Structure formats: structure tokens, C-alpha cells
Structure 1
Amino acid sequence: MDPRSGEPRALSEEVLAVAARHHQGRAHAFTKELHGQQLEFGTEPRTAMGEVAAEIERCRADAARIAAEAGVAVVALATSPLPAGPAVSEGRRYRWIREHYGLTALEQITCGCHVHVSIASDEEGVAVLDRIRPWLPVLVALSANSPFWQGRDSEYHSYRSRVWGRWPSVGPAELFGSADRYHRQVRELLATGVLQDEGMVYFDARLSRHYPTVEIRAADVCLDASTTVLVATLARALVDTAARHWREGRPPGDHGVGLLRAASWRAARSGLDGELVHPDTMRPAPAGQVVQALFRHVEDALDGNGDHDRARKALDDLLGGGNGARVQRRLLRRHGTLQAVVAECVRRTQEEVR
């Protein structure tokens, strides 16, 4: 963002050049994304959530430092509150996306949070995908951090997920039942010619192309690093719980994709401030009740991973203080302008890691 106006700036190439100078040719965590206003980073594999937290904070601090050298500020938002013009990054892949998807690609300045959790095999991974489907909207509600779009209040908590849903392969997937059926479905999608490559299979959760992991892709980028860690903690616990249920022979729920899409819409619309669709009943229930149901669902896994107390406190803090969407709207009421919202979110993004 421009540190004075709060408007997005397409300077990721300049920021990455600063990062390259700092690291003197060594690999670093930062990469470009579809639009020049975006900067992506990825953490190294970790097993302890304290280590995940430290690495996220380090990467955020590094991002703030290198961006400042390029004359801009970084902010952990899933959409820009202020209008952002299209600025598709250079590269053959991005040009193909721009040419094939038109306005969908031009407007896709959205930032998601992806969590990779290791699995023993593709068969286990698909069993996990089949069993975590109804719980992923709860992660959307917890992480929701995109209430504003092109200078207006969207009236959603996670408008990013609605914009993201314009891609042809986005959203909940059907029950696969086996790794063979999963891979066959991916091949059939690619055979349509609608997608460029397997990287564009944008299911809410999928098998990673590059790592032995399940990749959960439902969440917004979170305003606070602590929320990111909570989402990662719950994601790991969801995977561990699903894998255990598979080994015990417990079948997945047979919720149809239409029901899951409705649950995802409700999570994006309401966040933590209204009702969500309860994964057990597929009926509306207060958001707090559904979040507590998620915690109970994964509680044994949290205990086994040594994450229970930390996750309990982080969840209580989030429910009390609100997700990023609630914080942004509170800032707008207090300060009166979206420019001030961005400035406060920049401060919050950077202050947390000092």
C-alpha cells in the first residue's frame, strides 16, 4: 500500500528485488503473485506451533522492512479497502490467465491463507479431504478479513471468498472415495481445457502437487499473526481427526456440494457475528456454537499435538476481539475513512511483530 494514501501499489517486482539484494542470491520466503500489488510468503515445515508463530512473525517483519525500502507498506488484508486497478504480473502463465479469464483475472486482487498438513499417502489424503469438507466454512468465518471491496462495504465478512469463487474450479468438492478417483477427477478437469494446469485445481482443500500434504485453501489472509497460527492449528487437528476416523472405519458425511456451497456462503456473509451452518446438522446455529463444535470435534487431536491450551486461549481471544472483518469495521466507525482503516491495519500488521 502507499503509506500515505492507503491505495494499493503494483510494486511487487521492486520489493522482490530488495529481498534479493538482502539475501545476496540465497533463497528467501517471498514470491510474486498474479497481481503486482500482492506479496506472498511461505513458511518452512514445522511441527511445533510456537515455531510456526515465530516464522510467520519473522516473515511479516521482513516483508515490512523490504517493502519500506521500496517506498511502500505491507498490510495483512485479504482484499484492499480502497479501489485497486488491474496490474497483472509479468510471465507467460499470468499472461495466459489474463487472456483466458478476462475480468475475473483482472479483479482477482485477493489474498488467501493456505495451510499444508503432512499425510502418509494419497489414499490417506483423500480420506481426509472427504471428511473435512463440512468444517472448512468455519475456518472461513474465523479468518474472515475482507469486508471492503473497491471502496465500499461489501456487507460480507469474507468478500474475498466470493470474488475467489469466480474461478471455474473453486469451492467444495464431491466425495472422492479413493485416490484413484481423485486423480481421475483432476485429469478430467484438465482435459476440458478450461484450466491451464493442475495448479489451477482450486478446491477448498486438495492434495498438493509438490509436497506430501493436504493443502487447505479456504481461509482469508488474517490481520493478526495469532489468528493465522490458530487457523493452522485447527487445520492440522482437522486433518489428524479425519485420518483417525478413516483408520477406524468411520465413513465421511455425504453432504452434497450444494449444501457445502450454501454453508460457505453463510460463513462468508456472517463471519462470527451471525449464524453459521452447523456441520453436523446442516442447519443454522449461532456462530459461537458452531465454532465450539469445531473445537470439540478436534479436541483429542489438539491434546495429542500439545496444542490444546494455546488453541483454547487463541480461540477465546478471537471470539472476544473479533476477526479481521470486525476489526476493520470497528476502525471505520472510529476513524471515519477507509484510508484511516488501512493505516491502522498497516500499524497493526507491523506492530504485532516488533
Structure 2
Amino acid sequence: MRTLGVEEEFLLVDPRTGCPLPVASRALDAAADDPKRLPGDAGSRLSGEFQLEQLEVSTKPCETLATLAGQIAAGRVAADTAAQASGARIVALATSPMPATPHLRPNRRYAEMARMHGIVAAEQLTCGMHVHVEVSSAEEGVGVLDGIRSWLPVLLALSANSPFWNGHDTSYASFRSRVWNRWPTSGPTPIFGSVAAYDRLVGDLLATGVLLDKGMVYFDARLSRTFPTVEIRVPDVCLDLGAAELVAGLSRALVETAARQWRLGIPPAPVPSSLLRAGMWQAARGGLEGDLLDPRTSRPAPAYQAVAALVDHVRTALAGFGDSERIRYLIKRRLSHGSCAHRQRQAYAVRQRFSDVVAAAVVDTHGAPDDAREDEWTQPRLAARGLK
């Protein structure tokens, strides 16, 4: 079984106002001083991130989606327990709806990054979800990177969870991805074809002097420097557990499908990086509520058609992992309820208060996935999309 794990980044917020709080150091100290307060069998690792308004939770490698979902849930509890000890709550929002002035975490490397990159680093308060999927070798990993690149915008659309930025509606579903793309190495990669070509590009980027180290190679997907995995970096942190499970499960199926095609000598689709960048912009703009670029044609298509194409592409892999039924259910739920960005806008529309968005998101961060609504409106909508 090809294992998978995730890293989730969370905002630390004041539970009364919804404003980000720079208390990561205190939260981590509380977790270290009193480990009994944290779930003993969570299997997760709690750490700091770039800004003091953030915490990160990393799961262990998991063989099943059910195990991963359990670890994600327990990790969120662990992070929130540490946050509450410092007067904050964690919230799974990819950007802050409330105005924020980030505070850089005391770290020599981060300080140098801030010196080199100025306002890009100073404003970098975004939360993503990174999915690690096991590969057998660097050669297989590069083959996977070449094979998954055209499908990554669909994962971004499914995770889109950042419509607001510093007290404004951005008109995007995932504004985090637009902020993240300010970094010099972010975005899609070319088709490599070999480990040597991958290493050569990384080496050439380092030789430019615009990167501090290999950790700043921020490709949409890359070979992990630490684990024997491909690391898919495009998703927003997901508001609810079901969305996180969905994106992780589809990511593993994508990796497995690409690995099989690589072993069979099937060449990856030769989509130019410029079209992939346009596809990522389209996914960030509309999420599941707008059109996406169909990964097979690079032409506009309703989001549900692009999602259906992805599911069809990875169908064999999903069946092999025993994930078909669960992924089908989670997709039905996502398409019927709308994106996490849409849910944020619904929370704002009631009283037009960004603090309400954060308050609702705190609840959603820890809530169990609710059942898909099988009402008179949902049923025909799903049936029309071939998902009933």
C-alpha cells in the first residue's frame, strides 16, 4: 500500500475578535511542558511556521484514508489544545479574513529570507496543506511529477478556502495561491524526464542567488528533501475534515496513476507550463463555483466536469486502495455544498462581519463531516452531473 501523510498549517486567532495572535512560541512551550494535555496516540507532530500567528501539524505516514482522517482530526485537537493554553484557537483558514500584521518567527533562516524578499516575506501569512505520497525511488518520483502536473489545478479548486484577505473580499476562491506565487520558484514545473534534469534545474535556481537554500524550491509539487515522497503543495488548508480527506485521497490516487504510467513508458501530457499557470489562476479565481480548464484539453469547462475527469483518470488507483466509495461520497458532498470559500462567504453574508467568518470556521475546523443533503434540490443536481 502506497502510504500518504499531510502537513496542515493553521492560523492562531483571538477567539473573541477573530484577529490573528502571534502566540505560536507560547503554544509550543505549553505543548512541551504538559504533553498530557495532548492526545497521546495522535501520531502527529506539532511545530511552528514562518509567522508567529501559525502552527503546523504533520501526520505520520498512513496506509488508509480512515487512519489518515483520524490523525488529521487528532492533530487538530492537539494544536487547538496548545493554542488554548496561550489564549488562542486554531482555525483552518488559508488567509485571514481580519486585518493582520504578521510577526516573523524568531529564526535565523526566516530572518534572512525576510531580508532578501522584503514585503513578500513580511505579508506571507497563508496556510496550506501539503500532501506527501510515498514513492519507491527518485526516478519514480520524477516520473510522477511529470505525470500529475496538469491535474493539480483541480486539487486547488477542491481545496479553495481563502476568499478574504485583510478585511476585503478578493473575488478569488483561493487568494492564498496568488499570494504564494510571489515567491520566485512557486508554480508549475516543466516536464523533467529524468532525475538529472530535476537536479539540474534545482542547481541552476540555487546558482542564481535568489534562493537561500533548497527549502525555498517551492514548486507546485516536488521531491521531498526529508522523506521518500512526492510532496504536493498546491492545496489551501481545508476548512473541514472531509475536504482534507478528499484532497489527500485524490492526491495519492494521482501519484499511483502517474507511477503506473511511468512504469509502462506512457509519456506525460505535453502541456506547456504557461497553460498550467493559467489553469492554476482559473482554479484560484473560481474554485468549484466557476469554470476550470479541463486538464485534458486546457479549455474552459464547468468545475464539476473537471472533477469528474480527474476521478475517471484515477479510477483504477482509487479502486486498488479501496477508496472509491469514500471519495465518491466526499465529492458528492463537496459539489452539493460548495467550496470552503463559498462557505466562508455564506458566513459573512449573514451580518457582513469578518469576525463571524472566523467564529464559524473555528467550529468547522473541528466538526465531523456531515452527511450529504439528499433533498429535492440536491438529487437532480447530482444526477445531472453523473454523480448520483
Deviation per CA, 1:36-89: give whole Å up to 9, x if none: 001001000011110000000001111112211110111001000001102011
2:28 is matched with: 16
The answer (yes or no) to whether the contact 1:19–1:28 under 8 Å persists in 2 is: no
Tell me, in whole angstroms, the C-alpha distance in 2 between the residues paired with 1:312 and 1:155. 29
Q: Which amino acid aligns with 2:130?
A: H
2:96 is matched with: 80
Displacement of 1:341 in angstroms is: 0.9
Please state if 1:7 is matched with 2:19: yes
Tell me, in whole angstroms, the C-alpha distance in 1 between the residues paired with 2:288 and 2:74. 28
Q: 1:164-183 residue pairs with structure 2 within 5 A?
A: 164-183=180-199
Please state if 1:37 is matched with 2:47: no
Q: 1:213-224 residue pairs with structure 2 within 5 A?
A: 213-224=229-240
Please state if 1:192 is matched with 2:208: yes
Tell me, in whole angstroms, the C-alpha distance in 2 between the residues paired with 1:68 and 1:103. 30
SS of equivalent to 2:133? strand
Tell me, in whole angstroms, the C-alpha distance in 2 between the residues paired with 1:345 and 1:218. 21
Tell me, in whole angstroms, the C-alpha distance in 1 between the residues paired with 2:27 and 2:338. 31
2:137 is matched with: 121
Q: 1:133-212 residue pairs with structure 2 within 5 A?
A: 133-212=149-228
2:380 is matched with: none
Question: Root-mean-square deviation (CA), in Å?
Answer: 1.4
Please state if 1:303 is matched with 2:315: no
Please state if 1:236 is matched with 2:252: yes
Displacement of 1:309 in angstroms is: 0.3
Instruction: Percent identity, please.
Output: 50
SS of equivalent to 1:152? coil
SS of equivalent to 2:234? strand
Deviation per CA, 1:132-156: give whole Å up to 9, x if none: 0010000000000000001000000
Tell me, in whole angstroms, the C-alpha distance in 1 between the residues paired with 2:85 and 2:138. 43
Displacement of 1:336 in angstroms is: 2.1
1:60 is matched with: 76
SS of equivalent to 1:111? coil
Query: What is the total number of aligned residue pairs between the two structures?
Result: 353
2:310 is matched with: 294
SS of equivalent to 2:89? coil
2:5 is matched with: none
Displacement of 1:28 in angstroms is: 6.1
The answer (yes or no) to whether the contact 1:35–1:88 under 8 Å persists in 2 is: yes
Tell me, in whole angstroms, the C-alpha distance in 2 between the residues paired with 1:20 and 1:216. 29
Displacement of 1:125 in angstroms is: 0.6
Tell me, in whole angstroms, the C-alpha distance in 2 between the residues paired with 1:215 and 1:335. 39
Tell me, in whole angstroms, the C-alpha distance in 2 between the residues paired with 1:102 and 1:95. 10
SS of equivalent to 2:90? coil
Deviation per CA, 1:158-214: give whole Å up to 9, x if none: 000000000000000011010111011111111111111111100000000011110
The answer (yes or no) to whether the contact 1:81–1:149 under 8 Å persists in 2 is: yes
Displacement of 1:352 in angstroms is: 3.4
Please state if 1:248 is matched with 2:264: yes
Structure 1 segments (4+ residues) deviating >3 Å: none
Tell me, in whole angstroms, the C-alpha distance in 2 between the residues paired with 1:190 and 1:337. 44
Q: Which amino acid aligns with 1:19?
A: A
SS of equivalent to 1:153? coil
Please state if 1:93 is matched with 2:117: no
The answer (yes or no) to whether the contact 1:80–1:149 under 8 Å persists in 2 is: yes
Tell me, in whole angstroms, the C-alpha distance in 2 between the residues paired with 1:182 and 1:349. 37
Displacement of 1:248 in angstroms is: 1.4
Tell me, in whole angstroms, the C-alpha distance in 1 between the residues paired with 2:30 and 2:368. 23
For structure 1, the residue ranges without an aligned partner over 5 or more in a row are none
Tell me, in whole angstroms, the C-alpha distance in 2 between the residues paired with 1:181 and 1:69. 48
SS of equivalent to 1:176? coil
Which of the numbers 324, 339, 358 marks the counterpart of 1:323?
339
SS of equivalent to 2:204? helix
Tell me, in whole angstroms, the C-alpha distance in 2 between the residues paired with 1:100 and 1:86. 17
Which of the numbers 136, 144, 147 marks the counterpart of 1:131?
147
Q: Which has the higher contact order (CA 8 A, sep 6+)?
A: 1
Displacement of 1:104 in angstroms is: 0.2
Tell me, in whole angstroms, the C-alpha distance in 1 between the residues paired with 2:307 and 2:368. 25
For structure 2, the residue ranges without an aligned partner over 5 or more in a row are 1-12, 370-388
With normalisation by structure 2, the TM-score equals 0.89
Displacement of 1:351 in angstroms is: 3.5
SS of equivalent to 1:246? helix
Q: Which amino acid aligns with 1:208?
A: S
